[in-house]
Amino acid sequence: MNSRVLSSSILGIDAYIVDVECNLSRAQLPRYVTVGLPDNAVKESKERVTSAINNSGFSFPRKHVTINLAPADIRKEGSAFDLPIAIGILAANGAVKPDYLDKLLLLGELALDGELRPVKGVLPIAINAKRDGINGIILPEKNAKEASVVDGIKVAGVKTLRDVVAILNGELKIEAEKLDRERYFNKRRKYTIDFEDVKGQEQVKRALEVAAAGGHNVIMIGPPGSGKTMLAKRFPTILPDLVLDEALETTKIHSVAGLLPDSVGLIATRPFRSPHHTISDAGLIGGGTIPKPGEVSLAHNGVLFLDELPEFKKNVLEVMRQPLEDGVVTISRATVSLSYPARFMLIAAMNPCPCGYATDPNNECTCNPPMIQRYMSRISGPLLDRIDIHIEVPAVPFSELSDKQPGEQSSLIRTRCQNARSIQVSRFDNMSGVYTNAQMETNELQQFCKLDKSSSELLKTAMEKLGLSARAYDRILKVSRTIADLAGENEIKSEHISEAIQYRSLDRQLWLG
């Protein structure tokens, strides 16, 4: 007696169909075997499935049970195969009609009493099911909203194994989960924090606005308590709104990682990830026997905030250079090589010295120049080369802290940033892989960042007098182009160059000796 049930699994952030085949044969002693490269979670499904079937009012067959997960050359992981395995066994034993098993996709973890528990990766599974022409999906009730984000496929959220059997046998009808995707997306596109909460720091706010407008990475240098973390947390609120395609891609990553809350079907705001400085390189980039996305991928289309940047391990910071450059992370193992998107904006923060008070007029610094030099040298040149804006964050005076007047709202700043991004989209329309000023290479800089005589002289003087490094030259041009876009100017002017020069603190001889 054989049966075949459709299910699905995840490879990277994409899904593929898995045929769950069940064969029941007579044997003197009952046995249960699972083949098709199952991991431990799949192998342990035997106990969950057996108990769930018996506790749901059905009889587990006392036969030789063979479960095959095809294709058999890809390792299967997770508990989502519990439900299709249970249905396959019941169908092979005659308790479930086979009429709909080749038209519906089943997934879900089973509790011992037959209740269905939510699983990971539902959104990419639903997207792939629609692409493969599957009519519908039966899955745990708590995953239904996530799957219903995909238009054109019926989604049934179910509570128990008994209900699934009743649906397949035509004894129970259930309303398909429906979701007005556009309305839901727009309703959830709200932030709980705002830039108007920040007192003072007008120059820093301006620098972050320039960064958001041009897609520039930022490092903030300032004493403890100056507001670096507060500013970083509010940075996503001034970035252009996520479009639906970006939201779907971001949600897929969080769904695969198992970080999507049950009540959230679609991530509608830009993610903000802030890992601790003790994180490993695998935690930041991703890894594992079967590679999982790391923090750089979870920050895709959003912000990765690294507080106390010099405290991160050197090897952890160095592995971040490739995703900063390419916008993608490739993790290779002996049996598989997976790529995860990692197009994020880096916001880093650090103290100006080990004690933190080198630039604070209210506290005395206890560090000597060699200590400061060693502290600053923890950040490598190649990593610093990928950060366009360096901004000093001074301590906020009491007069500004006690000011009752709220700051400018994030929505107003976001509108200006969106307008500047629109200019860039038009500018780079025919150029592959370039969408913002921060992504410009040498050819684009020569074409779109031409300077008049006065601007060129100003930049030359700054390079010589302030001791700016060679790598600062291109960064200043990119940031100047963004400042001009914010001002609605076609040409880069000397005032744009002047402002951009201010955003290169760490390249000056004052910092690097």
Can you name the residues that pair with 1 across neighbouring β-strands?
A: none
Tell me, what DSSP letter sits at residue 396? P
3-state helix, strand, coil in the chain (%, to 5): 40, 20, 40
Tell me the C-alpha distance between 52 and 21, whole Å: 19
Tell me the C-alpha distance between 93 and 473, whole Å: 73
Tell me the C-alpha distance between 184 and 493, whole Å: 44
Tell me the C-alpha distance between 144 and 125, whole Å: 12
Cβ neighbors of 411 (< 8 A, separation 6 or more) are none
How big is the chain by its Cα radius of gyration, in Å?
28
Query: 53: which 2 tokens?
Result: 């079937």
225 φ/ψ sector (left φ>0, alpha ψ -120 to 50, else beta): left
Q: What is the pLDDT along the chain (513 residues), one digit of tens a residue?
A: 899 999 999 998 999 999 999 999 987 788 999 999 999 989 999 999 999 999 999 999 999 999 999 999 888 988 999 999 999 999 999 999 999 999 999 999 999 999 999 999 999 999 999 999 999 999 999 999 999 999 889 999 999 999 999 999 999 988 888 877 788 888 888 898 999 998 888 999 999 999 999 999 999 999 998 899 999 999 999 999 998 899 999 999 999 999 988 777 889 999 999 999 999 999 999 987 778 899 999 999 999 999 999 999 999 998 888 898 889 998 887 777 888 999 999 999 999 999 998 888 888 899 998 998 899 888 888 888 889 999 999 988 877 767 778 889 999 999 999 999 999 999 998 887 788 999 998 889 999 999 999 999 999 998 888 777 777 888 999 999 999 999 999 999 999 999 999 998 777 544 444
Per DSSP, the three-state class of 64 is: strand
Q: Which domains does the chain have, with CATH numbers?
A: 2-179 (3.30.230.10), 188-404 (3.40.50.300)
Can you name the residues that pair with 138 across neighbouring β-strands?
A: 106, 156
**Do residues 8 and 71 make contact, with C-beta atoms less than 8 angstroms apart?**
no
pLDDT in tens, 152-201: 899 999 999 999 999 999 999 888 888 777 888 888 888 989 999 988 88
Burial 190-209 (b: 16+ CB within 10 A, else e): ebeebbbebbbbeebbbbbb
What global pTM score does this model have?
0.90
Q: Judge residue 98's burial from the number of C-beta atoms within 10 Å of its C-beta, 0-12 exposed, 13-18 middle, 19 or more buried.
A: middle
pLDDT in tens, 26-75: 877 889 999 999 999 899 999 999 999 999 999 999 999 999 999 998 88
